[in-house]
Chains A and B, each alone.
Chain A
């Protein structure tokens, strides 16, 4: 075995192997605050399709670098006169879009791989795990740099890179959680009925590990937001003039001597979103597995 086998790579707390349905479920503060933040971001992103205070891409050079509240610009304007609030609203859209697709890629590839490893054991499991070690040696940024070099930088390169980088994490979590389920009597019963491995995995194992996967997906979403912001900041993600939280910080860096607050709001938006998804993940875990909540 190797070091990466023994640990869940994202969360310090051990994930529960099986959903303990009979326990009393508890809606904690984490869940409420996390869900509220996430819903607000989703609502903001959806609202930006219908309405923003100003046209987010409208350039008004005479109105540039104005302070908060200036002539209806609630958060002020940036170096070319964009309304900062409108830019942040549209940026939320891009952030969520990249997050959903990246986590989607990781789940669609990682879950079957992890399930295959747990169902087949032996050399198949060994190969899947070693392959995921190799992918794990490529951080998302490195993959994004490679893809940008090959296909040109852009939002699709960024989300493929983030998604592929998270495949090993999902595969490991799926394998770890599935192993315990495959040991249970009802799985043996299903096999004795002559059901195939794929059927058993989809019909019996997946529902039992779904809580672990939901928690993992939420935590990965938070990581994906950070990765997307970093890539857009480097110019490898969302391409200007399309607004993005990370991209806004590039301009902020050039102008912070004149207006330091330019760097403040996009960073705050990123941090609040990440806190929101992390709290939501913790909250869902506590809700689905009260025993674990007791322990931590």
Chain B
């Protein structure tokens, strides 16, 4: 187990290193000079050169990269080219919106998907299963941001039940802040829940074909009690994995949904940063998000190997 943890951690560090090189490379090496892009094509060469020096991008690439990575490791992500604000506090501030949104969406999706998926699998090829299959097929086909727009149109604007967008801030009013996260979380959960339902359904179906379920049935257990006593725990293992993998999709989803509902989260900051050509902000925020995804993958892997010892030897 210890050697597995060490090896897995080494893979994590290597992945993080590769990811940081990729992010840096895309923004630093691809054609196009940040200074020219900030000042526009009309800028004089002297002004461009001065800005290049101020931004520190006239130094060798390896120095720039080392500085950036060292800053990231020590928690100083630098200062925005455009707003001159420090990046680390901005990200911390924005995470207070994005994280609760992602967690609420994940919670909603799981709370719906598990019972519905188990129900569909235990009523395999009956009307209920067909209905779930059709609904989940629709759910995975609807763009989350379209669901968001429709929810805003009806629930917020026409019926006035919940706010259509914006975020008052946790400091001002916790209740109002929670209320403004409801529609965004539901929009995200619709899609994630539909995907998860399909996985839960097929995981339970796969487990129900296992020999130990047949043995349990042969011992006189009903289909239902065999499922409850032996099936669900085994079906849970792949479902937990999928939950971990869905995080990447969920983070991508928050980027779009935050823009639909004008929420001051990480995703909205990223899209605004592109409009303002704020390259360092994009670079650092992207690395932070990627690091979060890699950390979650690492944790799920370790947890998974604790739950299912068979995997360690493979």
Contacts and interface: CB of A to CB of B under 8 A. Distances in A.
Interface in B245-284: 245, 248-249, 251-252, 255-256, 259-260, 270-271, 273-275, 277, 279, 282-283
B91 interface: no
Contacts of B27: 146, 149-150
Interface stretch (A57-65, A77-85, A127-135): A127-135
Interface residues of A, number: 57
Contact of B249 (A139, A233, A252): A139
A148 B241 contact: no
Chain B interface residue bracket vs A: 35 or more
> In the complex, which of the residues A149, A150, A151, A275 has the most CB atoms of chain B within 10 Å of its own CB atom?
A149
A296 B248 contact: no
Contacts of B88: none
A141 B14 CA distance: 23
Q: Interface majority SS on B: helix, strand, loop or mixed?
A: helix
A253 B152 CA distance: 9
Nearest to B285: A145
Q: Interface majority SS on A: helix, strand, loop or mixed?
A: helix
A230 B254 CA distance: 11
A256 B138 CA distance: 23
Contacts of A21: none
A7 B15 contact: no
Given A147-B26, A275-B137, A141 B252 contact: yes
Interface string A224-237: 00100110011110
B296 to A, nearest CB: 9
Contact of A278 (B141, B157, B249): B141
A230 B256 contact: yes
Nearest to A145: B270
Interface of B: 8, 11, 14-15, 18-19, 22-23, 26-27, 30-32, 137-138, 140-146, 149-150, 152-154, 157-158, 198-199, 201-203, 205, 209, 238, 241-242, 244-245, 248-249, 251-252, 255-256, 259-260, 270-271, 273-275, 277, 279, 282-283, 286, 289-290, 293-294, 297, 300-301, 304, 311, 314
